[in-house]
Amino acid sequence: MKIRENFRSSVKSLFHNKLRSFLTMLGIIIGIFSVIMLTSIGEGIKRQVTSQVESLGANLLYVFPGKVDIGHRNGKSKLGVRSDGMGPGQNTLTYDDVLALKGRKNIAAVTGFYNAVDRLDELKIFVSTTGVDEDSFHISNLELRYGSFFTKKERLDKARVAVIGDQANKELFKGRNSLGKTFKLNGKDYKVVGVLKYKKPENMGPSGEDLNVKIYLPITEVIARQKEKNISQITVKATSAEDIKPLEKTIRQTLLKNHREVDFTVLKQQDMLNAINNILSILTAGLGGIAAISLLVGGIGIMNIMLVSVTERTREIGVRKAIGATRRDILVQFLIESVFLSIIGGLLGLAAGISGAKLLPSAFPIIHTAISIPAVIIALLFALLVGIFFGVYPATKAARLDPIEALRSE
């Protein structure tokens, strides 16, 4: 018999037992559905994180104190980050390093970060303040509601000026335009020169914090009144994407003039993204793998039903052999039945998975999903393989039936 006729024969048998065929497919449908859903969620998280990291600004390089090896992944761990000598007191990054970088080739902007804790007299609380350079405005893509960021002059003068976040403005000035008004930190007056626009907390700031509670001060002013002079981070913006590589070298060489050894780490934005993506890819693969187990269970369901079907249709197989079906005809027919079940189940599961992945964010806005095409292809191929693998045994059994025994069975 020609394959096309075998196919028609198989489809007919499956339609003859509609409910059973559907229930058998259900295993595959659920399996593919969960694979697609879980990988979409994983992929969605990955894209969200990527877009957030990218929203921090493009072409950025970060200098951290201590030696963190993220790019070369020393040691056995493939996903890990090796970190040495990051303890307190070993921080050797200073504001001189920032000054040394200013005006270098390929640098569009550079800022240091100094995180301090100050007493906010009006509210009688301690708040964390952030000392930055005026370049921070561009580097961190800040948006202002009122006023402007403090200037280079104000930084050089160690002026007591501040740019405050929306929440800080609300609590200090009831959300009104507070330009030119002052508030007291540690008993001293600070003049507000800028108020940031409200940002949804999910769009986090450069160090992952809520921008709305920020109080930005000129870094020079902060360092001047602190005992600890070392800064926590330097962020450098390259003039263009092509300049990132040479800039990394420039930064290293410039900083080494002030340091006896490489006790700092230069990270590219891409390095951080890679590290995050690595972890998330493993997570996604893990989720997909767990879902694949349900596919396997679905496959066993197919085999089970096919075996029942062979037993039930023993007489039919005998008749087919008597009127001239070869072993191959019978084998192909039963194999097509199981592959058909798994492929149709796979396609239905795919449709359910894709619509589920599209609908999920509207039910749970916090979850982002993105359908990964490789996952779709792998899932469908897997469904096909499941159909073949779990169909071969029942089909072989059917093909090998002795026609006389088969005809005799009731």
Partner 1 sequence: MAINIQSLYKSYQNGDEITEVLKDVNISVKDGEFVAITGPSGSGKSTLMNIIGCLDRPSRGSYQLAGEDISKLNDYKLAGIRNKHIGFVFQSFNLLPQYTALENVELAALYSKVSPRTARDKARNALAALGLEDRLKHRPNQLSGGQKQRVAIARAIVNTPSIILADEPTGSLDSKTGREVLDIFKDLNQKGKTIVVVTHDLEIAGQANRIINIKDGIVQEVPQ
Q: Contact positions toward partner 1, by CB under 8 A?
A: 1-2, 4-5, 9, 12-13, 16, 315-316, 318-329, 403-404, 407
CB-CB contact of 271 with 70 (8 Å)? yes
**144-147 and 188-196 as β-strands: parallel, antiparallel, unpaired?**
antiparallel
> Phi and psi (nearest 5°) for 176?
-80, 170
Nearer to partner 1, 117 or 323 (CB): 323
Nearer to partner 1, 3 or 293 (CB): 3
| DSSP for 54-118, written as a single string | HHT-SSEEEEEESEEE-SS--SS-SS--EEES-STT-----HHHHHHHTT-TTEEEEEEEEEEEE
Q: How far is the CB of 20 from partner 1 (least distance, A)?
A: 13
The beta strands (E) that lie in 158-276 are given as 161-164, 182-185, 188-196, 215-218, 233-238, 264-268
Q: How far is the CB of 352 from partner 1 (least distance, A)?
A: 29
Three-state DSSP at 145 gives: strand
CB-CB contact of 213 with 196 (8 Å)? no
The residue with tokens 């559905």 is 33
Q: How far is the CB of 408 from partner 1 (least distance, A)?
A: 9
Query: CA separation (Å) from 342 to 319, 335, 350, 374, 387?
Result: 27, 11, 12, 19, 5
Q: How far is the CB of 385 from partner 1 (least distance, A)?
A: 28
Q: How far is the CB of 6 from partner 1 (least distance, A)?
A: 9
Considering only CA atoms, which of 297, 311, 331, 324 is closest in space to residue 399? 331
Three-state DSSP at 238 gives: strand
Q: How far is the CB of 386 from partner 1 (least distance, A)?
A: 26
Nearer to partner 1, 125 or 322 (CB): 322
Q: How far is the CB of 398 from partner 1 (least distance, A)?
A: 14
Q: How far is the CB of 25 from partner 1 (least distance, A)?
A: 19
Nearer to partner 1, 155 or 321 (CB): 321
| Alpha carbon distance 68, 266 (integer Å) | 9
Nearer to partner 1, 358 or 408 (CB): 408
CB-CB contact of 190 with 162 (8 Å)? yes
| Alpha carbon distance 104, 255 (integer Å) | 12
Nearer to partner 1, 9 or 169 (CB): 9
CB-CB contact of 345 with 383 (8 Å)? yes
Q: How far is the CB of 333 from partner 1 (least distance, A)?
A: 11
Q: How far is the CB of 31 from partner 1 (least distance, A)?
A: 28
| Alpha carbon distance 208, 353 (integer Å) | 32
Under 8 Å CB-to-CB from 322, ≥6 apart: which residues? 403, 407
Nearer to partner 1, 347 or 407 (CB): 407
Nearer to partner 1, 12 or 152 (CB): 12
Nearer to partner 1, 245 or 328 (CB): 328
Nearer to partner 1, 105 or 408 (CB): 408
